[in-house]
């Protein structure tokens, strides 16, 4: 679906494939493409779903924006889930824009309901070019709370954004993938402990911590929580700098 230079009377949304019935839809080896060059407030979506089941295998789902955007809330997503079940298997989830988008929320998958199920297996998120936007991310949530139906396997997710500014309680967003975080902490020169606060809270304490210090002393970890942990040193009044990595 390409709106080209056209405009229209107050569209609510432009969607290449919309699934709102209770049946099953399967797409193989396809390119689902939604594109616009119109600066408007309506939503642009490659696949939009509210009911039923859609399975996409070995395909590309693509949203492309070839205009700057003035609306901060405009949503432009390759896939938007409002319910039902979406299965993405070996599929590229692609989004791209002009060199400087300005505003709007551009991304791969938008989660708009707690009632849907999204299974992403062996797929790829790709930012195909351009910069800017109110948010620009692989995953985008309108909820700010738990997204119980989101399951990701064999798929790297680099970026996450939320309308409310919060992180869904069951999604860990880190610097590299959904499985790691990293950072550097320095002991204050007084005492033998330093508290590490994670950049993003984790859903549980089932994670491991690897550390590397710049001084010849023993460093160990205690008091793991979903928001951080404590580094301990064998040296009184330590001033060591410790690089740490957590893995789930």
Instruction: Check residue 177 and give its pLDDT.
Output: 43
Q: How far apart are CA 170 and CA 172, in angstroms?
A: 7
Q: How far apart are CA 172 and CA 179, in angstroms?
A: 7
Residues of the chain with CATH 2.60.40.3940: 180-247
CA distances for 98 relative to 8, 64, 201, angstroms: 22, 9, 33
Instruction: Using the predicted structure, report yes or no on whether residue 193 has a pLDDT greater than 80.
Output: yes
| pLDDT > 90: percent of the chain | 48
The mean of the pLDDT values for the chain is 84
* Extended beta strands in 112-238, E state: 117-121, 124-127, 135-141, 150-153, 160-162, 180-186, 193-197, 208-213, 219-225, 228-233
The single residue listed with the structure tokens 């399951």 is: 151
Contact 162, 141 (CB under 8 A): yes
Pick the CATH number of 180-247 from 1.10.3720.10, 3.40.640.10, 2.60.40.3940, 3.40.1440.10: 2.60.40.3940
Instruction: Check residue 166 and give its pLDDT.
Output: 56
> Which residues on adjacent β-strands are paired with residue 243?
184, 212
């Amino acid at each position: 679906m390409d709106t080209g230079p056209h405009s229209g009377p107050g569209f609510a949304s432009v969607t290449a494939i919309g699934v709102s019935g209770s049946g099953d839809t399967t797409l193989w080896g396809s390119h689902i493409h939604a594109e616009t060059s119109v600066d408007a407030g309506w939503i642009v979506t490659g696949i939009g779903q509210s009911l039923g089941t859609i399975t996409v295998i070995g395909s590309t789902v693509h949203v492309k924006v070839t205009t700057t955007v003035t609306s901060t809330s405009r949503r432009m997503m390759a896939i938007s889930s409002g319910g039902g079940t979406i299965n993405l298997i070996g599929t590229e989830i692609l989004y791209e824009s002009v060199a400087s988008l300005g505003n709007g929320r551009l991304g791969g998958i938008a989660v708009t309901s707690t009632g849907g199920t999204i299974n992403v297996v062996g797929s790829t998120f790709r930012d195909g070019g351009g910069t800017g936007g109110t948010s620009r991310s692989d995953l985008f949530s309108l909820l700010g709370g738990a997204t119980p139906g989101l399951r990701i396997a064999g798929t790297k997710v680099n970026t996450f954004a939320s309308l409310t500014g919060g992180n869904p309680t069951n999604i860990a967003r880190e610097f590299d993938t959904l499985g790691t975080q990293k950072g550097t902490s320095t002991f204050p020169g007084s005492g033998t402990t330093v508290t590490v606060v994670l950049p993003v809270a984790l859903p549980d304490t089932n994670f491991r911590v690897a550390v590397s210090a710049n001084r010849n002393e023993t460093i160990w970890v205690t008091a793991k929580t979903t928001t951080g942990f404590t580094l301990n040193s064998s040296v009184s009044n330590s001033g060591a700098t410790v690089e740490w990595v957590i893995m789930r």
